[in-house]
Amino acid sequence: MRRNVLRHNLLTALLLGPATAWLVVFLVLPFVAIAVFSVGERAPEGGYQAAFTLTQYANLPARATAFWNTMVLAPAGALACLLVAYPVAYYLALRAPERWRLILLALVVIPFWTSLLMRTYAWMYVLGGRGIPALLAYVGFDDVRLINTPGAVLLGIVYGYLPLMILPIYVSLERLDRRLLEASADLGATPISTFLGVTLRLSLPGVMTGFSLVMILLLGEYLIPTLLGGGKVFFIGNALVDLFLQSRNWPFGSAIAITLVLVSVVVLLVANRISTRLSGARRVDLI
Amino acid sequence: MSKSYRDGLPINPEKFVDHLMRLKRGSIGRREFLGLTGLGVATAVMARELGIMPSPAFAQEGLGDRMSIATWPNYHDPATFENFKAETGVAVEVNVFGSNEEMLAKLQAGASGWSLFVPTNYTISTYKKLDIIETLDMAKLANFDGSQQDPRFTGEGTIDGATYAVPKNWGTTGFAVNTKKLTKPITSWKEFWDTAMADGDGRTMVHDYQLTTIGNALKYYGFSFNSLKQDELAKAEELLLKVKPHLFAVSSDYQPSMRAGDAWMTMCWTNDGAQLHRDIPEIAYVLGKEGGEIWTDFYAIPKDAPNKPAGYALLNYLMDPKVAVKEHLANGAPSTDARVNALLPKEVLDNPILYPAAELLTPLEFGAAATLTDPARAELMARFKSA
């Protein structure tokens, strides 16, 4: 009996070992290093100099605009993603013919196999002067500018993160018990109130998963605003890149990174809370 | 990124199709087709990179088979590295950067992996202070001849009698204007910034680089390009924040946007100005009459270079005037080496973009070392970008 328990523990340790080691080396240790840097000072030529001070944290308001831009962009981008993704997921899960479903799903996922950088560069050419504006000039609209506009950034974000939003919503809709929809119709609900009262409600966990996934990634986004926004819109991700790669102020960069991680955790917790409440309170079991 | 994607291709598309049709008609064999189109070589290279075919042994011992260089965009003749590889067997990986700060950041963090890099004059003293660049062993650089160098441009490579860097070329920082879109002549930094808020609204680019963007904003008021004075920087910041909403982009990679016609005016370095003007004659290169930056880019070797022998070998190769002249023809920046100038065609030496009139050069300033590490300028740049 005792030996069994021991063997069981050993097995657990063996199974969890690699993942734990991985996380310790590539997540926990760097995080500790960043935390240590964040209470240090910038060396005169840049970099890190050992110290114990909270000045870096006191200096956070110097990047208030960047934080603010991020706090607006992340939910707005996630919302735009959601508005585009929901109809697609709905069609895939409830309307698409069975034999096409797998192919359509694959089409959603396949672009994800190419690096986001490549796909964003492709958009630079599509939106740039030799792309759509050249076509527009051909039909008489001269000097239209699409690249480096907020619209271009939004487009890039929706395009880049769409699969991450579609998939969780699809999964929650796909598991939806169709008999609930019939019941709702039998009881006299219009299609719209069935959608709002049953379908949408039951897919909310998927919506929340997709929403928080996209939003967390957007909190650290810097590539799309740089490439499609012309580096004019400054997010916290851009602030971090500049602090490490331009002004070489590692301690201040670290303090911002720590703050960003904390904010992300809070966002995740709140999203989780909302989604449990929404789905928990409305759980309907037929059996 | 620059020029046409066709430049440097082993074969042009028309010829390729021609050969392909001949292959289909059967008038040439498949093997001949692969040879004629360069596809055979490409396949062999791929196979070697993927480790399918072993790399052949090379004549030069001790150089290894690869090295890495950190440099600027559109800065070399790609054939230079191909020829170097053919001669020595060392493949050169090229890393491209947008600012000296970024190069310094990578070297400070360690393990950059570069065996040669291209810092600008005003950064060398900082590299030396941080003890991260090699004191060059001039015995290994037989092709370098200090007596042939123009002393105006080379001083900062030598500190306390020891040589840490040797010059590649010099240049200026002005602006490029698409004169078809902006027809009013623009001759000063004051006009540059004013135009950015008027006719050039939404079509103007500035560098993502504190030295030049802040420096040229300082020139609007006639202050020094290198100023660290608080009140002068405050004025520059005021201007930058006012211009910000009118800009097309804050980016040091301006050639694609200028070529595509998205941007009509941009801060610009000599070499990019020469390349743009060469390909699109209506793009003019202008030096602000108030002054601005003059610079020299150097070659240096990091202390932690993984392949120092190859770094020295490539540097020595690049110092060969016959090689250097091709580099200058490709990148369009003027040389510091009299031996190279002697080989350059007359129309290059007469090109006012490369060799501006003396009265335009006089007010220009070399970047100052202090700007590289000054926190006030870094924070100003962050405020400008986040505004």
Shared domain for B187 and B285, answered yes or no, is: yes
Q: Using one digit for the tens of pLDDT, what is the confidence trace for A242-261?
A: 999 888 899 999 999 999 99
Per-residue pLDDT band for B43 (boundaries 50, 70, 90) equals low
Q: What are B280's two structure tokens? A: 């699109």
Beta bridge partners of B296: B170
Tell me how far apart the alpha carbons of residues B48 and B58 are, in angstroms, rounded to a whole number.
14
Partner A contacted by B376 (CB < 8 A): no
Residue B47 has pLDDT above 60, yes or no: no
At CB < 8 A and 24+ separation, what contacts does A197-203 make? A199/A90, A199/A94, A199/A173, A201/A278, A201/A282, A202/A172, A202/A176, A202/A279, A202/A282, A202/A284, A203/A89, A203/A169, A203/A172, A203/A173, A203/A176
At CB < 8 A and 24+ separation, what contacts does A56-61 make? A56/A251, A56/A252, A56/A254, A56/A255, A57/A255, A57/A259, A59/A252, A59/A255, A60/A255, A60/A256, A60/A259
Residue A90 has pLDDT above 90, yes or no: yes
Q: Cβ atoms within 10 A of the Cβ of B155, count? A: 14
- Tell me if A129 and B261 make a contact (CB, 8 A cut-off): yes
Contact A226, A238 (CB under 8 A): yes
Chain B stretch 119-178, residues whose beta carbon is closer than 8 A to a beta carbon of chain A: 126, 129-130
* Closest CA of chain B from A256, distance in Å: 14
Tell me which H or E stretch contains A46.
none
Partner A contacted by B101 (CB < 8 A): yes
Q: Using one digit for the tens of pLDDT, what is the confidence trace for B180-218?
A: 999 999 999 999 999 999 999 999 999 999 999 999 999
Contact B276, B267 (CB under 8 A): no
Q: At what angle do helices B210-220 and B375-386 cross, to 10 degrees?
A: 80
Q: Cβ atoms within 10 A of the Cβ of B24, count? A: 10
Q: How many CA atoms lie less than 13 Å away from A267 in the CB half-sphere?
A: 22
Partner A contacted by B296 (CB < 8 A): no
* Closest CA of chain B from A10, distance in Å: 39
* Closest CA of chain B from A247, distance in Å: 6
Chain B stretch 5-64, residues whose beta carbon is closer than 8 A to a beta carbon of chain A: none
Tell me how far apart the alpha carbons of residues B324 and B169 are, in angstroms, rounded to a whole number.
10
Per-residue pLDDT band for B61 (boundaries 50, 70, 90) equals low
Q: Compute the average pLDDT of residues A204-220.
A: 89
* Closest CA of chain B from A249, distance in Å: 9
Partner B contacted by A142 (CB < 8 A): no
Based on C-alpha coordinates, what's the Rg of chain B? 23
Residue ranges per domain, chain A?
64-281
- Tell me if B375 and A147 make a contact (CB, 8 A cut-off): no
Q: How many CA atoms lie less than 13 Å away from B170 in the CB half-sphere?
A: 27
Q: Which residues of A139-177 are buried (b: 16+ CB within 10 A; e: fewer)?
A: eeeeeebbbbbeebbbbbbbbbbbbbbbbbbbbbbeebe
Contact B245, B288 (CB under 8 A): no
- What local confidence, expressed as pLDDT, does residue B130 receive? 92
Q: Is residue B255 part of a domain?
A: yes
Number of domains in chain B: 3
- What local confidence, expressed as pLDDT, does residue B380 receive? 94
Tell me how far apart the alpha carbons of residues B98 and B244 are, in angstroms, rounded to a whole number.
20
- Tell me if B385 and A129 make a contact (CB, 8 A cut-off): no
Shared domain for B38 and B186, answered yes or no, is: no
Q: H helices within B244-356, ranges in order? A: 255-260, 270-279, 308-318, 321-331, 338-343, 346-349
Q: Is residue B2 part of a domain?
A: no
* Closest CA of chain B from A159, distance in Å: 22
Residue B30 has pLDDT above 70, yes or no: no
Partner B contacted by A197 (CB < 8 A): no
Tell me how far apart the alpha carbons of residues A194 and A200 are, in angstroms, rounded to a whole number.
9
**CATH code, B272:** 3.40.190.10
The winner for highest mean pLDDT among A147-151, B89-93, B343-347 is B89-93
Residue B49 has pLDDT above 60, yes or no: no
Contact B384, B237 (CB under 8 A): yes
Residue B21 has pLDDT above 80, yes or no: no
Q: Is residue B60 part of a domain?
A: no
Contact A241, A48 (CB under 8 A): no
Pairwise pLDDT comparison (B235 vs B22), residue with the higher score: B235
Partner B contacted by A220 (CB < 8 A): no
Please tell me which residue of chain A has the smallest CA distance to B101.
A246
Shared domain for B278 and B360, answered yes or no, is: yes
Partner A contacted by B244 (CB < 8 A): yes
Q: Is residue B176 part of a domain?
A: yes
Contact B307, B67 (CB under 8 A): yes
* Closest CA of chain B from A127, distance in Å: 10
- What local confidence, expressed as pLDDT, does residue B56 receive? 45
Shared domain for B71 and B164, answered yes or no, is: yes
- Tell me if B378 and A148 make a contact (CB, 8 A cut-off): no
How do strand B265-269 and strand B166-178 relate by DSSP bridges?
antiparallel
**Eight-class DSSP state of A99:** H
- What local confidence, expressed as pLDDT, does residue B7 receive? 56
* Closest CA of chain A from B380, distance in Å: 10
Q: Is residue B217 part of a domain?
A: yes
- What local confidence, expressed as pLDDT, does residue B297 receive? 95
Shared domain for B161 and B187, answered yes or no, is: no
Q: Using an 8 Å CB-CB cutoff, list chain B residues near A129.
A: 257, 260-262
Pairwise pLDDT comparison (B108 vs B36), residue with the higher score: B108
Contact B203, B181 (CB under 8 A): yes
Tell me how far apart the alpha carbons of residues B305 and B311 are, in angstroms, rounded to a whole number.
8
Per-residue pLDDT band for B1 (boundaries 50, 70, 90) equals very low
Could you say which of A230, A238, A244 has the minimum Cβ distance to residue B105?
Answer: A244
Q: Is residue B56 part of a domain?
A: no
Per-residue pLDDT band for A140 (boundaries 50, 70, 90) equals confident
Q: Which residues of A41-78 are buried (b: 16+ CB within 10 A; e: fewer)?
A: bbbebbbbeeeeeeebeeeeeebebbbebbeebbbebb
Beta bridge partners of A96: none
Per-residue pLDDT band for B264 (boundaries 50, 70, 90) equals very high
Tell me how far apart the alpha carbons of residues B303 and B110 are, in angstroms, rounded to a whole number.
10
Shared domain for B254 and B369, answered yes or no, is: yes
Q: Using one digit for the tens of pLDDT, what is the confidence trace for A160-202?
A: 999 999 999 999 998 888 888 889 888 988 888 888 888 888 8
Burial category of A191 from C-beta neighbours within 10 Å (exposed 0-12, middle 13-18, buried 19 and up): exposed
How many residues in chain B?
387
Q: Is residue B317 part of a domain?
A: yes
Class of domain A64-281: mainly alpha
**Eight-class DSSP state of A131:** S
Q: What are B55's two structure tokens? A: 């790399």
- Tell me if B382 and A247 make a contact (CB, 8 A cut-off): yes
E strands within chain B?
66-71, 91-96, 116-117, 158-159, 162-163, 166-178, 204-206, 247-250, 265-269, 283-286, 292-299, 364-366
Q: Using an 8 Å CB-CB cutoff, list chain A residues near B102.
A: 245-246
Q: Compute the average pLDDT of residues A19-27.
A: 92
Q: At what angle do helices B100-109 and A236-245 cross, to 10 degrees?
A: 70
Please tell me which residue of chain B has the smallest CA distance to A245.
B102
Q: Compute the average pLDDT of residues B236-250.
A: 96
The boundaries of the domain holding residue B330 are 66-170+296-349
- Tell me if B101 and A245 make a contact (CB, 8 A cut-off): yes
Q: What are B10's two structure tokens? A: 């082993």
Coil, strand or helix: which one is B292?
A: strand
Q: Cβ atoms within 10 A of the Cβ of B102, count? A: 20
Contact B246, B196 (CB under 8 A): yes
Contact B265, B178 (CB under 8 A): yes
- Tell me if B386 and A44 make a contact (CB, 8 A cut-off): no
Residue A284 has pLDDT above 70, yes or no: no
Pairwise pLDDT comparison (A201 vs A4), residue with the higher score: A201
Q: Is residue B89 part of a domain?
A: yes
Partner A contacted by B248 (CB < 8 A): yes
Q: Using an 8 Å CB-CB cutoff, list chain B residues near A65.
A: 386-387
Shared domain for B290 and B234, answered yes or no, is: yes
Residue A123 identity = W
Partner B contacted by A232 (CB < 8 A): yes
Give percent of chain A above pLDDT 90.
36
- This complex has an ipTM of 0.80
Q: How far is CA A255 from CA A239, A242, A259, B109, B110, in A?
A: 12, 14, 6, 18, 21
Contact B69, B114 (CB under 8 A): yes
- Tell me if A231 and B208 make a contact (CB, 8 A cut-off): yes
Q: Compute the average pLDDT of residues A130-150.
A: 87
- Tell me if B108 and A46 make a contact (CB, 8 A cut-off): yes
Beta bridge partners of B67: B92
Partner A contacted by B206 (CB < 8 A): no
- What local confidence, expressed as pLDDT, does residue B41 receive? 59
Q: Using one digit for the tens of pLDDT, what is the confidence trace for A102-133?
A: 899 999 988 888 888 899 999 999 998 888 98
A179-183, A196-200, B23-27, B262-266: segment of lowest average pLDDT: B23-27
- What local confidence, expressed as pLDDT, does residue B85 receive? 94
Coil, strand or helix: which one is B93?
A: strand
Q: Using one digit for the tens of pLDDT, what is the confidence trace for A215-228?
A: 989 988 888 988 99
pTM: 0.81
Shared domain for B123 and B220, answered yes or no, is: no
